[in-house]
Structure 1
Amino acid sequence: MTPPAEHITVVGVGADGWAGLAEPARRALLDADVVIGAPRQLGLLPPQARAERVAWPSPLRPAVPGLLAAHTGRAVCVLASGDPLHYGIGRALVESVGARRLRVLPHPSSVAYACARLGWPQEDVEVISAVGRPLDRVSAALHDGRRLLVLSADATTPAAVAGLLRERGYGPSELHVLERLGDDAHERHVQASADTWDEPPGDPLNIVAVGCRRAPGAGRLGAVPGLPDTAYEHDGQLTKRYVRAATLAALAPAPGELLWDIGGGSGSIGIEWMRTHPACRAVTVERDPVRAERIGRNARVLGVPGLTVAPGAAPGALAALPGPPDAIFIGGGLTTPGLLQACWAALADGGRLVANTVTLESEALLARWYGRHGGELVRLAVASAVPVGGFTGWRQAMPVTQWSVTKAATEPVAGTTGETAARALTPRTDTGDTA
């Protein structure tokens, strides 16, 4: 393949350094005018590679465009660990100069080596990076029988993984730490359960493999929305389990989408939105500082530490949020002047809005908006079996009225069934909210 003009060659390198490189990778490095990489990677080059050696500064990502621009017109090679486009520098390079300017020469990744050593099919393994990312993300992937590979930040990561597994009720899990994979002279494999892990920090170039096993009696969390209420720390401000499951179904998260959760309470809607896929993003608005801190704790324990908590009251706090959102959930404060209008204005065409309420005043407001904009207006009722003397009876929870709608470029015309229903539900006295 003939590389494009002004191309940048990205060379993946393993722990075995120069000896493990194929001829095209060696030739690119020998012909380069400048080689950019981490100090450890630059140290793997032999004396015959006479290019100028430039170490990445810290922080790395903001420096990429300027550093590449400084060497315009020169033959540039960038060194990467293993496969450059698998949790590597390749992403930042593509975002900076575009894929067409890159010639990528990958090397087997640490994931490929680890699976080869353990006999684990790669398609059955979930990979989680702890390099520059919170380790709490591992929590969302913990299910009996699953296999995980954690890309370590440094030599302390294995002990941190073992500690997290114990805290989350997965102490019996099998733990493998594989160091310097691909370097035959220094490769090392340590194995123990998370409960018994007491190894001192080893080589910083390591990967942690986890065979998940839940401890007897530890709580079990499923992979779909509707986690048990006991999974959350809360003060009563919590969208309850069955209503939460119905709400997430109406919000319909998809990979990469952004949710605004207005009135976070305990954070359950934003947390379970993000648990549906690692690429999902959420911002929860909460005016109570105690609850805001609690949301952060819940997010970390349930494996989505990337949930953003925005302190403040809506609608004023909405102006500072990232957007536009793909979906908005309003769990309280519907009759706050301007709230529904601000949320509706923030949605782009095709955006989704879901609002829940238990009060007649807010229900009337939702009915009016349903009449003007369509969507679905439903009432959710849940009853639980409870002791009644020596017998069992039903205890009814407060019914929840839910409006869900997708914003369309052309709004529904007046006179629909929805508007008729709205007029029937609207009381004579206005609440002060207008569509």
Structure 2
Amino acid sequence: MTDTPWLTIVGIGEDGADGLSLASREALARAELVIGPSRHLSLLPALNCPAIEWPVPFAEGIERVMAHRGKRVVVLASGDPFWFGLGTSLIRRLEPGEWAARPVPSTFSLCAARLGWPVQATACLGLHAAPLSRLRPHLAPGQKILVLARNGDAVKALADYLIGQGFGASRLHVLEALGGPRERVRQARADALAFPDVVHPVAVGIDCAGTGTALPRASGLPDGLFDHDGQITKRPIRALTLSALAPVPGETLWDIGAGSGSIGIEWLLAHPANRAFAIEADPVRAERARVNAAGLGVDRLEIISGRAPDVLPDGVPDAVFVGGGLSHALLEALWSRLPAETRLVANAVTLESEALLVQWQSDKGGDLLRLELASAAPLGSRRGWRASYPVVQWSVAL
């Protein structure tokens, strides 16, 4: 740990030097090198040291900063460097005491100040370098969302996405260059957006409205939200399975025999910090799981094509679900590899796989459930109960 940070991350707003704190001004005055995007550099007065533009790809900029480790370096960032900014990526390789941050109000804070929206009750998404489908879990009538967008074309694409999801009636607040002399705020419905001259930097406030389908927050999404070929853990069983898996924020799941990916997708929807690996031997199903995940806003589902246990991910999970490919060899491999307290849930439909779970539960303990469901269906001119195949579920903490 050093006594004085060699790296200072200075947040810059559209008002440039006028909005900088005394600490930021002092860091710039002492700097031996300043690096940042060309737009940020243009907002500052003449510097007393060399200034270089942040390169593309982004990772090269981090390497360039690290090459000057030990010098007095200032990195320029938008607003708050730790809210969809470069701060986290930059300090990942540094020790405490090597860096300091001097933020200014973030774009989200400025948006909330213009619109009068409570930040704590508003979804804030950085979509300038991410797919629009990440909006999907947040779309529901009455919800407010703040989005960072790349440029004017991205704003039009955002409106088109909302229309396609059934939320074309949403009111869009297009906020450009907040905090500076070019600031402009305009409004339009998503299905009537016609601003040809949107300028960067731009954010969009979405006052969500429409008749599109909102994603429920409870476990067990409707089966119709997933594309599948029949290999899907059906909604009631999925709800019970996720309850047994018990996702906790920040945890990792291995979904073995993922099929449509429904279990892994709902695990990710439980919290934005969660991770999930979907392991699927059938390449068509693996691709289908990828598409399902992207469409439901969790494109971070990590697909592994192959058959477990041959292709298990690196590291260790917090929970494992076996929905397909259940075998004695797989359970042996998992039991020998996974650390104590890992949660394992396995579902069986065939007599052979049911017998296997009965044997393992007898040897290892845990809970064994037999789940039998029936739904009402036409029976001649009347209705009767149509039973589904019973499912035996074993859940255990290793």
TM-score, normalised to structure 1, is 0.87
CA RMSD of the aligned region, Å? Answer: 1.7
**1:147 offset after TM fit, Å?**
0.9
Which residue of 2 is the match for residue 135 of structure 1? 132
Which residue does 2:173 correspond to in 1? 176
Structure 1 residues 62 and 270 mapped into 2: Cα distance closer, same or farther (>3 Å)?
farther
1:21–1:173: structure 2 CA closer, same or farther, 3 Å change rule? same
For the pair 1:7 / 2:6, whether they are aligned, the reply is yes
C-alpha contact 2:151 2:198 (8 A) present in aligned 1: no
Residue 342 (structure 2) pairs with residue 351 (structure 1): yes
CA distance in 1, matches of 2:120, 2:217: 18
Q: Does the alignment pair 1:328 with 2:320?
A: yes
Shift in Å at residue 204 of structure 1? 2.1
The partner residue of 1:386 within 356, 373, 377 is 377
User: 1:17–1:73: structure 2 CA closer, same or farther, 3 Å change rule?
Assistant: same
Aligned length in residues: 397
Looking at structure 2, the residues matched to 272 and 170 of structure 1 have their Cα atoms a distance apart, in angstroms, of 22
| Bigger radius of gyration among the two | 1
1:6: how far off? 4.1
Separation in structure 2 between the aligned mates of residue 119 and residue 62 of structure 1, nearest angstrom: 39
Provide Cα deviations, 1:300-348, integer angstroms capped at 9, x if missing partner: 1111111112112222222xx232111111112213x521122233422
Deviations 1:161-211 (A, max 9, x none): 11221222212111111010101x211112112222232352120111111
Instruction: Tell me what 2:279 maps to.
Output: 285
Superposed displacement of residue 248, structure 1: 0.6
Query: Aligned match of 2:299 in 305, 322, 329?
Result: 305
Report the Cα offset of residue 391 of structure 1.
Answer: 3.0
Structure 1: which amino acid aligns with 2:186? V
Find the counterpart in structure 1 of residue 32 from structure 2.
33
Give the whole-Å Cα distance in 2 for the aligned partners of 1:347 and 1:139.
34
What is the alpha-carbon distance in structure 2 between the residues aligned to residue 116 and residue 148 of structure 1? 14
Aligned equivalents of 2:6, 2:305: Cα separation in 1? 46
> How far is the alpha carbon of 1:25 from its aligned partner?
1.5
* Larger displacement relative to structure 2 (141-150 or 127-136): 127-136
Matched, 1:209 2:208: no
> For 2:193, which of 194, 197, 202 is the aligned residue?
197
Q: Secondary structure at the match of 2:253?
A: strand
% of aligned pairs identical? 46
Letter in 2 for 1:348: P
Moved over 6 A (4+): none
TM-score by length of 2: 0.95
Paired position in structure 2 for 1:156? 153
Asked whether the 8 Å contact 1:326–1:347 carries over to 2, the reply is no
Show CA shifts across 1:204-257 (max 9, x none): 201111111232xx3342012211111111111111000000001111111221
Would the alpha carbon gap of residues 368 and 115 (structure 1) be closer, same or farther in structure 2, given more than 3 Å must change? same
Q: Distance in 1 between matches of 2:10 and 2:217?
A: 38
Query: What is the aligned partner in structure 2 of residue 374 from structure 1?
Result: 365
Unaligned runs of 5+ in 1: 408-435
**Match of residue 338 from structure 1:** 329
Does the aligned pair in 2 maintain the 1:325–1:346 contact within 8 Å? no
Structure 2, unaligned stretches of length 5 or more? none
> Match of 2:311?
317
